[in-house]
Structure 1
Amino acid sequence: MNLILYAVPFFFVLIAVELLADRWRKVSTYRLSDAINSMSTGVLSTTTGLLTKGVGLVTYAFALEHLSIGTLSADSVWVWIFAFVLYDLCYYWLHRLGHERNILWAAHSVHHQSEDYNLSTALRQTSTGFLLSWIFYLPMAVLGVPLVVFVVVASLNLLYQFWVHTRHISKLGWYEWIFVTPSNHRAHHAQNAIYMDRNYGGVFILWDRLFGSFQEELDSDPVIFGVTTPLQSWNPLWANLQFYAQLAADARHAQSRWDKLRIWFMRTGWRPADVAAKYPIAKPDLAQFRKFDVPLSLSQQVYITLQFAAHVALGSYLMNMGDSLSTSALVLGWVWMAFGLFVLGVAMENRAWAIRLEYVRILLNLPLMGLAQSLGLWGVGSLGWVAVLTYVLLSAMGLYCARGHFTRLADS
């Protein structure tokens, strides 16, 4: 049972509630481009997960069969409680090393790039975490936690983390001592020096108190959200590649072969001395901090929002049908989604070539639809063609109406 799939509608309902809370309190915790960028990385991550979920499941199942020291029963409530707590402990160390080692930070940094903090930030997830994250959950397999229990508690852990991404809930008294809360997780998302690399727990903050990584949110040090090497882009593909690209460039420029290798596994931010001297990276002064933003007209905002909604619909379809689709169909779905989100990112950055690329994307839906039907990606016959043709025509009309705003703002 895919708990995340069932939870998606509630995520969007709660985001709408938070927007109403913004309006009621006369504050602004959302910016359209930032929120869409966060949700785009989430949609891309979910779509990627349809192709890569086997990595974690296969390695876990293999370890459970060949390395476990016993077998626990899924019929025992105590096994579920034990697994829920143990999963969060494993998550703590994955999360902590995800901040402390370059190669793991390259994957996890996506979640921290937003310079806003709201429920859409919770949906901002990596598409490359599957490469190494499975290693940290192998102790659960060794101890004999059944696969079904592992999958469910993993989903529950992720679902819990959604609600703590809000600025509308202040400190919660005694609850702060045991569980992760909005307050102590806000501190985790800060780029202020006092908060850096703190509060790693997913559900339980007890691990941070036990292992010395806890930091309370302080009124004297208001949180500044984001990362110290700003993304400065609304593109979900670049969001996933930014830090990998920096590490690859540093490895290429390093003179020492040993440095070329070890840079990937050193503490986050470590760079070879010769590279740091020749290619310094300036860190922004938080006293002068300004959020990345690109002005968009109302018509652009409406057009981009509607296009993003169409991609959410496609992503929901892929999630719902994922288990019944062939690998080829899933790859096509991923390419379709990734390219579309890339183009939307270009549009939100208002680049001069955005409108031409968007016309190309719209027209490509027609041959992609034909290929999709041949692969069984869209199994509703002529109705699918009617839907895609309607989408292409409405999108072309909408883009034509908004074209002047794209051109004018891009040229200014």
Structure 2
Amino acid sequence: MDLLLKGGEMDLNFSNEMVYTLPFYLGPILVLSILNYVRRQKHYRFNDTLTNASIAVGNLGFSLILLLGVVAIYSHVFEEYRFIELDQTNPLIYVFAFIAYDFCYYWNHRFHHMIGLLWADHIVHHTGEQFNLGVSVRISYFTELTMWMTFIPMALMGISIEVFLVVSYIEAVWAYCIHTEHFKKTPVADKVFNTPSHHRVHHARNSRYIDKNFGGVLIIWDKLFGTFQAELDKDPVVFGVRESYPSFSPLVINSYYLKNIWKKMQLSSTPWEVVCSIFAAPGWLPKKADRKTFYSATTRISCRDFKPYDPHTSLTTKWTSFIRFCVMLVLFTYLMSNFGTIGAIPATILSLLFFWLSHYNGIVLDGKKVGAYPEIIVQLLAASFVYWVAQNTQDVIVASCSIGLMVISAVNYIVYRQAPMTQQSFPVDASQQSDAL
């Protein structure tokens, strides 16, 4: 497997992962989005889906790199500190590993809702205001940094990295598939498994549904530890978080809750309150904080009146944003497939270009006025990479994509730079009405 150490060295080229993972991540979402458009349904919106895809690709890049370290740590603990010797060839070890993983996942997931710093990471997944496969890949860039620790006990229990990865893939596929509104109730499966109905509850902003149903594949842990809540017809699920931030920028979404932590720290009167600002439950506030003014007006909107953030954008803008995303995808694939060989400077340029363009697409879809300097940054980064390609490689496709990216971005800027601010779907406070740039 490419993610493991090879010959004592880390393999930093991810060609195989790009071939298999990207189509799995984005293929079904693209197909269902097209079907949604053809059938004139409302399960997928362009701005929301493009944002989910942009966040997913950024997460994939970070995850592949960070996973190298996670695999190395897990393997070291297994080799040096395991308590039990288990036969890794016995099929029953996969059953044992699956149950152990699902139990660890439950507590990992619950900790991410209980601890503010972990919630800053996990909230990215919950900011999606529609429930579809796109939300399943709307995962923070730094999830691998906060997920791995609670799974180390599996290494201590004698579960090898190979077995661990197999059961983790099973869990990932299940988690991917249950993000849907199409299966309303599955009475038999609902008793044992975390079904789409149960997971819709977990993603709701309704008061009775908040912090419920943390399970991975099995729902029995929630029933055992008192966090289970069935989906009720009398209380229809409304998706999203209470403190909604109206933006489609992946960078804004990924830094979303860190601003709240910093705000709590500024209002803290004692060192203990500073610690609590970082690690206490998301609902905790310092004594000086006024709950009515600390949170935006969106927290006070009832679920009955809440509407997803959906500013109008022109068809031209949507097309240029989508084409830009496609070119970004090609450049990202090139970067990850050659990460260990292209050198630090071009890798840094491509990474900055990718994340800046994700942000740029987001603010354009927000309906913000786009000034000159964001476009200047795009052109400088793209031109720098084209110059590097011309000097060091003969890769015509990558060079063409880079040049095309510059043209598309410039066209989008010309078309959209005079666009007025659009009306928000819900009232926000003054601090949230400022431009993202």
**2:171 alignment partner in structure 1:** 157
User: Which of 226, 246, 250 is 2:260 aligned to?
Assistant: 246
- C-alpha distance in structure 1 between counterparts of 2:422 and 2:300, whole Å: 27
| Cα distance, 1:320–1:232 mapped onto 2, change above 3 Å | same
| Cα distance, 1:224–1:373 mapped onto 2, change above 3 Å | farther
**2:50 alignment partner in structure 1:** 36
Structure 2 contact 353–378 (Cα < 8 Å) conserved: no
- C-alpha distance in structure 2 between counterparts of 1:240 and 1:165, whole Å: 20
Amino acid at match of 1:344: N
**2:431 alignment partner in structure 1:** none
Per the TM alignment, residue 114 of structure 1 is displaced from its structure 2 partner at its CA by 1.0
| Cα distance, 1:328–1:83 mapped onto 2, change above 3 Å | farther
Which aligned pairs between 1:198-277 and structure 2 lie closer than 5 A?
A: 198-276=212-290
1:89 lines up with 2:103 in the alignment:
yes
User: Which of 158, 169, 176 is 2:190 aligned to?
Assistant: 176
Structure 2 contact 194–217 (Cα < 8 Å) conserved: yes
**1:392 alignment partner in structure 2:** 406
1:66 lines up with 2:83 in the alignment:
no
Amino acid at match of 1:285: I
State the Cα deviation string for residues 142-183 of structure 1 (Å, max 9, x = none): 111111222232222112211111112221221111222111
- SS in structure 1 at match of 2:123: helix
**1:104 alignment partner in structure 2:** 118
Per the TM alignment, residue 221 of structure 1 is displaced from its structure 2 partner at its CA by 0.8
| Cα distance, 1:285–1:389 mapped onto 2, change above 3 Å | closer
Tell me which protein shows more helix as a share of its residues: 1
Per the TM alignment, residue 326 of structure 1 is displaced from its structure 2 partner at its CA by 5.8
Amino acid at match of 1:349: D
Per the TM alignment, residue 44 of structure 1 is displaced from its structure 2 partner at its CA by 1.4
Root-mean-square deviation (Å): 2.7
| Cα distance, 1:369–1:188 mapped onto 2, change above 3 Å | same
Structure 1 contact 87–154 (Cα < 8 Å) conserved: yes
State the Cα deviation string for residues 360-384 of structure 1 (Å, max 9, x = none): 414421202444788x8xx654553
Per the TM alignment, residue 94 of structure 1 is displaced from its structure 2 partner at its CA by 0.6
Structure 1 contact 71–146 (Cα < 8 Å) conserved: no
Amino acid at match of 2:96: F
- SS in structure 2 at match of 1:185: helix
Per the TM alignment, residue 246 of structure 1 is displaced from its structure 2 partner at its CA by 0.8
Q: Which 10-residue stretch deviates more, 122-131 or 380-389?
A: 380-389
- C-alpha distance in structure 2 between counterparts of 1:411 and 1:360, whole Å: 25
Between the two proteins, what is the percent identity of the paired residues?
Answer: 28
Structure 1 contact 363–392 (Cα < 8 Å) conserved: no
**2:315 alignment partner in structure 1:** 298
State the Cα deviation string for residues 18-70 of structure 1 (Å, max 9, x = none): 33554576531122111111222111111222332234223322322332113
**1:197 alignment partner in structure 2:** 211
Q: Which 10-residue stretch deviates more, 211-220 or 19-28?
A: 19-28
| Cα distance, 1:280–1:405 mapped onto 2, change above 3 Å | closer
| Cα distance, 1:10–1:60 mapped onto 2, change above 3 Å | closer
State the Cα deviation string for residues 299-339 of structure 1 (Å, max 9, x = none): 00111111112223333344444566666665444323211
| Cα distance, 1:84–1:329 mapped onto 2, change above 3 Å | farther
Structure 1 stretches of 4+ moved >6 Å: none
Per the TM alignment, residue 185 of structure 1 is displaced from its structure 2 partner at its CA by 0.7
- SS in structure 2 at match of 1:409: coil
- C-alpha distance in structure 1 between counterparts of 2:98 and 2:390, whole Å: 41
User: Which of 398, 418, 423 is 1:407 aligned to?
Assistant: 418
**1:339 alignment partner in structure 2:** 356
1:135 lines up with 2:149 in the alignment:
yes
Per the TM alignment, residue 279 of structure 1 is displaced from its structure 2 partner at its CA by 5.1
**2:300 alignment partner in structure 1:** 284
Amino acid at match of 2:418: T
Structure 1 contact 161–203 (Cα < 8 Å) conserved: yes
- C-alpha distance in structure 2 between counterparts of 1:277 and 1:205, whole Å: 34
- C-alpha distance in structure 2 between counterparts of 1:83 and 1:326, whole Å: 39
**1:52 alignment partner in structure 2:** 66
Per the TM alignment, residue 73 of structure 1 is displaced from its structure 2 partner at its CA by 3.7
| TM-score normalised by the chain length of structure 1 | 0.89
